[in-house]
C-alpha cells in the first residue's frame, strides 16, 4: 500500500471556499501510483481524479461517501499540487489518468479546460479514461480528449428510477464511439435478461462492447458472486472482469 500516492485526500470535514471566476473542479480525491481495477484496462497503472456529485444513487455504490464530499480547486491549484509530486512524469511514462466520480460529465466543461491546460503546460495529454454512467450527453470537445469510455449503465437492481438511469439516446450515441465499452454490475442471474431486453435487442449497444462484473463491495461479496458472473460471460460470449482493487485492498478507498 505504500506505493499509492495521494495528492488530495477525501475529507468530508474540510470545506474550501469557491474560487470566484477562475476555472475550477470540485474534487473529492486525487491519487496515483495505483492500478485500474475494472473494465477493459484492468491492471493498467493509473492515477484517479475523482470529482464530486453524481446523477445516480446506487444502493451498492462503494464510493458514495467520497464523491458526496469534495472541494473546489482551481486548475492552477491542481497543477501546483501535481508539480510537487512526480505524477506528471508518471503520466508521461504511461500511467492512465482516470476521470471518475460520481459523474465526471457533470463537470465536463471544467475537465475539458483541465485537459487542455494540462497539454499546454506540460506538452502532452495523458491517456485519459472516463467513468460514465450514460445519463448525460458528452460534449464533442470533451469527447475528443477521451481515449477510453468506461461506460457503466445502471440496471434496475441499482434502485435508481428508470427515467434517470436509462437514457436510450445517450446509450446509442456512446455505443457509436470506437473507444467505448459497457460494464454492467451483475447481482442476479436475471440481470442478463435485462441487458438482452433493454440494451441488445433495441440495438443500443453491441455484444462485443459488453463487460460483466460481479457486485462486490468487499472480498467476501465479490468471491460469492464471481463464479455466477464468469459462467454468464462464457455462456453469452462477452467479457468478464473482476474488481482487482477489491481483491488487493478489500474495502479501502483512496487506492
d(CA 101, CA 188): 25
Which of 76, 134, 160, 159 has its CA nearest to residue 110?
A: 76
How far from 132 is each of 107, 114, 151, 158, 199, CA to CA, in Å?
Answer: 12, 18, 5, 15, 16
- Cell numbers that stand for 232 in this block: 454468464
Report DSSP letters for 139-168, one per residue: PHHHHTT-SEEEE-PPPGGG---HHHH--H
Q: Which helix (H) or strand (E) holds 195?
A: helix 191-195
pTM given for the model: 0.94
**What does the DSSP 8-state code read for residue 17?**
-
pLDDT at 197 > cutoff 90:
yes
Assess contact for 38 and 86: CB atoms under 8 A.
no
pLDDT at 57 > cutoff 90:
no
- What pLDDT sits at residue 66? 67
- Which residues are CB-neighbours of 50 under 8 A, at least 6 positions away? 27, 28, 29, 30, 63, 66, 67, 70, 100, 101, 102
- What pLDDT sits at residue 14? 84
d(CA 198, CA 108): 27
Q: How many residues does the chain have?
A: 255
Q: What mean pLDDT is predicted for residues 202-208?
A: 98
Superfamily designation of domain 5-12+20-184: Aldolase class I (3.20.20.70)
How do the domains of the chain map onto residue ranges?
5-12+20-184
- What pLDDT sits at residue 96? 98
Which of 51, 142, 147 has its CA nearest to residue 99?
A: 51
pLDDT tens track for 88-107: 999 999 999 999 988 999 99
How many Cα atoms are found within 13 Å in the side-chain-facing hemisphere of 198? 17
Amino acid at each position: 500500500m505504500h506505493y499509492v500516492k495521494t495528492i488530495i485526500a477525501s475529507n468530508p470535514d474540510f470545506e474550501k471556499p469557491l474560487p470566484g471566476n477562475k476555472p475550477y473542479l470540485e474534487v473529492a480525491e486525487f491519487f496515483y501510483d495505483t492500478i485500474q481495477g475494472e473494465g477493459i484496462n484492468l491492471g493498467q497503472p493509473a492515477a484517479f481524479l475523482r470529482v464530486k456529485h453524481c446523477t445516480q444513487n446506487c444502493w451498492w455504490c462503494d464510493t458514495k461517501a467520497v464523491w458526496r464530499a469534495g472541494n473546489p480547486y482551481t486548475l492552477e491549484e491542481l497543477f501546483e499540487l501535481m508539480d510537487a509530486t512526480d505524477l506528471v512524469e508518471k503520466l508521461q511514462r504511461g500511467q492512465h489518468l482516470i476521470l471518475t466520480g460520481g459523474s465526471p460529465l457533470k463537470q465536463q466543461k471544467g475537465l475539458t479546460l483541465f485537459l487542455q491546460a494540462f497539454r499546454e503546460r506540460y506538452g502532452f495529454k495523458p491517456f485519459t479514461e472516463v467513468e460514465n454512467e450514460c445519463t448525460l450527453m458528452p460534449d464533442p470537445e470533451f469527447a475528443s480528449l477521451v481515449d477510453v469510455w468506461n461506460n457503466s449503465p445502471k440496471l434496475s437492481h441499482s434502485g435508481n428510477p428508470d427515467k434517470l438511469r436509462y437514457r436510450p439516446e445517450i446509450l446509442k450515441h456512446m455505443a457509436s464511439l470506437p473507444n467505448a465499452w459497457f460494464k454492467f454490475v451483475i447481482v442476479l442471474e436475471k440481470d442478463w435478461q435485462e441487458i438482452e431486453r433493454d440494451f441488445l435487442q433495441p440495438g443500443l449497444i453491441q455484444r462485443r462492447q459488453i463487460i460483466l462484473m460481479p457486485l462486490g463491495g468487499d472480498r467476501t461479496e465479490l468471491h460469492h458472486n464471481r463464479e455466477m458472473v464468469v459462467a454468464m460471460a462464457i455462456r453469452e460470449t462477452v467479457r468478464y472482469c473482476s474488481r482487482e482493487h477489491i481483491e488487493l485492498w478489500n474495502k479501502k478507498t483512496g487506492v
